[in-house]
Amino acid sequence: MADIVIPPHLIALESTAWAEQQAGALTVESAAAVQQAITEHAKAAKVSRYEVERELKRQVRHPES
């Protein structure tokens, strides 16, 4: 599997959504913005949306791994 590059704006969106989720305040708008950005990035990079989402969540939620 090729390395998936996650752009900073996607990390920022996911970081915001993750903070909201942890606080019990995740909004539909935040979640939708992340999903839309993931889909757009995956399409542009010609990689699986699921792989982009997995790598994004790993970088935001488990940066030590």
CB-neighbour burial class of residue 15 (10 A; exposed 0-12, middle 13-18, buried 19+): middle
What pLDDT score does 1 carry? 46
The predicted pLDDT at position 64 comes to 83
Cα torsion through 26, 22, 39, 49, rounded to 10: -150
Which tens digit of pLDDT belongs to each residue from 11-62? 999 999 999 999 999 999 999 999 999 999 999 999 999 999 999 999 999 9
d(CA 56, CA 62): 10
Task: Enter the pTM of the model.
Answer: 0.90
Confidence label for 2 from pLDDT (cuts 50, 70 and 90): low
Taking the C-alpha atoms of residue 38 and residue 31, their distance in angstroms, rounded to an integer, is: 11
Q: How many CB atoms lie within 10 A of CB 32?
A: 11
